[in-house]
Structure 1
Amino acid sequence: MADATRESLAHAPLATPLRERLPRLSHAHAEALRLLFGAPLRWPLRDGALRLRPGVRAEHAIALDADGDRLALAFAPGTPCAELHNGLRWSDHVGRARVLAWALAYEPALVRLSEALGAALLPLADEDLAQAAAAEAAAEREALWLRFEVDGGAALSGALRVPLAWAPRLAERAERVAAENAPWSALPLPARVALPGPALDASQWRALRPGDVLVIGPHARLQRAELRMHGRLWPLARDAAGWRVDGAGQPFFPSQEIPVSSDVAPTAPSAETASVPDVPVRIEFEVGSLELTLDALGALQPGYVFALPAPAEGANVVLRANGKVAGRGELVAVGDTLGVRLLSWS
């Protein structure tokens, strides 16, 4: 058994570092990719737009000259091309005649690409094959292969090689494309309207029982509330049509301690609770809930109105402690003071 294992290991392929199997990018190559694909871009045309994506080297690409730089281009199969006057196709020719025939057949497509790239694309018909091969090898070392598509007008797609040095000029000519988030724009997100309550210490929290009253503040506080959702809050004010957003949104953490006056007297910790950490408990009273879409969330700004009924004395509320449901209560008023009587407690 041991001999068989040694035999199989002897014929097993040697392990090589993964680093040697992954393609390597130079800093210039990585920077070019960042400029062109760090954000959605497109290159406008009179009848559409050019879109670029990372590509791979295309076989049988035609060499082009553009402002003295050597590019390469290969149109995808099915790209419309014209027949020549003699009834032949460009692929029926060889040598220099083949390049010229290709240029005539794809002239409309070359004009559109030249417009998008901001440089005239002129086919190169190299006479010296050895010199052409050397020029291609040099261009390939400092180049980026792209896959392109042109929308609008005749279908146009293929592979394009551009010098790495072209990345900044291409990025400058491009226009940003708005994120295509239409499928997500109607996604509903839960939100709640809450009256801020007191911040209690651990001993006050443990002492609460059904029937206790937590003080919110002056009765006028019934006209102010907060919209809370996904770690943000917006101040609200009562409006004839509902709740009106009364300020910009700001980050909010349910467990953060906000100094609010409370009429619940602190009690001395007992022996069995002395070791429990005195973690502050932030109370809020939920008076309404709703769902907002991503579009509506993006439109939230001062003046936005939610058509929700106003809470009144005797209205039931949901009591939350550090954002979690902890019980239920009802709004009560004693003179000018507004509070919540606990009805149930978990």
Structure 2
Amino acid sequence: MSALLTHTLGVSAFGVGARDLVDPARAAIVRLRWGIEMAAVRIDVGQHAGLASVVASDEPANEPLRQAVCAILLEPVRRALQALGFDGVEVLSLERAAPQTLRAPCCAFTFRVGDARFDAAIEHIDGGWLDALESLVARQCTPFATHVSEIAVPGRLQIGEKTMNVTTLDSLRTGDVILRVVPEATRALFASARPSAPMQVVWGRYGTRQLRAVADVTHHLMTLSEDPTMSHDTQFNAPLTDSIDTPVEISQLDLPLKLEIDTVSMPVAQLSALRAGYVLELPTALPDARVRLVTYGQTIGFGELVSVGDHLGVRLVQLSRGHGSV
């Protein structure tokens, strides 16, 4: 509602509460009619130019003229309601509010237009107004939700991880091979010694909340083994140092290195429907996929999977420019 009022009317600092903030000494009741729907709103006439003097005039003979003047002074309110879709609203009357001995909880709201602040509280409102407001807000939310649901979220398979100190990472060059970085099950899958291997699949950007699940992965497909859950990217199996109390030189700091393969990017709407048992086709056969080397969300290079004896390793084919200052 706040975003709608800001976009349509230039309103800021919109707030709703149960405490009436209208000054009792300057309170007046505006009665409105929209078709057959009635509403009464308590306002502070001191916040509206000219209304205080009009309300102060209580002579019965001047009643028709007073109401006509009030309708003119409240024309900005009528135009604002028209901009929100309430066509044909009439200002029926503006009367001084009766003194209140006890200020009961109510539906109160406050907002600003430019530097001017306005306080109000609803005294009475027919259901037709509320139905129209609910429909208005729903129409604003639907396009936003539709656009969000169509946003494609990148996905990736995490095929291995290990710790490497800063000195070792700085020394990496194109053509180097990193060994002992993938689990035995993954090595057996690439060697065709088993039909599939469990891996973690992740959707989302680094440093944000991400959707995670364990999947049973073959060379071409992955089947979710569990319902995905949301979490931050804080998981890493190996400790960064032997003891947090032991001083370590910067060059000897251990950094978590993860090996990732890009997988299916999916719209938000489809991600929200993922459940255990869903089968997804990989965009590239696993043995042919490019491997990304990532530490703390930063890509330091790319590689390809290679077999070295009984080991499965990653041969570096491209290093990110300037990675030497890790």
- TM-score of the pair, normalised by structure 2: 0.47
- TM-score of the pair, normalised by structure 1: 0.45
Higher alpha-carbon Rg: 1
